[in-house]
Structure 1
């Protein structure tokens, strides 16, 4: 089973004891538990909570749980509660778990030209 859950889909794993300096390109799904200092381009990315990425991330889908210091471009983006992201985010669909932290601009990518705007997170206060 792949890092994204699809059966019989090849994937590559970068373990927690691995540090890569330089750009990383994969035509398959990629699971990162280690550190990458460079840009990443892959089909689907799953980032472990203890992982750190310094560079631009480009993926069809990305599930981020660790530290990312760089911009992100993904059609489908899931930000886990343990994620800490510093950089701009370009997405078609996004899910952000409570507890995560993102510092940067959000840009929604539509089927045509890129539409820019701000994402506002509104807390629901049931006491009001």
Structure 2
């Protein structure tokens, strides 16, 4: 989109099926699809691009951290996305959403703040007391 190079994985390697409830944090790599319920945080185990899909039947009660997130179900808790967030028509998020790029379809609901995360991560420049030199942090 607009020249961005999103690096979402092409396959879903992990499935939490409908009727399944996971109580505790979930750590994954690659792709994760949630058709059941997760009562805990969902986090990518590696620094590479990770994708989470929360289907219409899916529900997460906890934080979600991913590069790419597609939501058709419900998330209760804060969401932290480093690349792209897609909210489908039946999506419902109750919590703050930290995102870099977002796509919201009509009917999707966010009860919380939308917080844009710039990809421009310039280090802060501080003046040192002696000599007027600068230091980056």
> Shorter chain as normaliser: what TM range?
0.7 to 0.9
Q: Deviations over 1:51-104 (max 9, x none)?
A: 111000000000001011001011210001101110000000000010111100
The match for 1:73 among 66, 72, 80 is 80
Residue 5 to residue 25, structure 1, CA distance change in 2 (3 Å): closer
Distance 1:54 1:35 in 2: 8
Q: Deviations over 1:99-118 (max 9, x none)?
A: 111100111111235xxxxx
Distance 2:57 2:85 in 1: 18
Count of paired positions: 108
Shift of 1:50: 1.2
The match for 2:105 among 89, 97, 109 is 97
**Which aligned runs of 4 or more in structure 1 are off by greater than 2 angstroms?**
none
Return the TM-score normalized by structure 1: 0.80
Query: What's the RMSD between the two structures over aligned residues?
Result: 1.4
Distance 1:103 1:80 in 2: 15
Residue in 1 that maps onto 2:58: 51
Residue in 2 that maps onto 1:40: 42
Residue in 2 that maps onto 1:121: none
**Counterpart check, 1:107 vs 2:115:** yes
Residues 9 and 51 in structure 2, CA contact (< 8 A), matched pair in contact too: no
Distance 2:119 2:110 in 1: 25
Gaps of 5+ in 2: 1-7, 45-49, 122-137
Gaps of 5+ in 1: 114-128
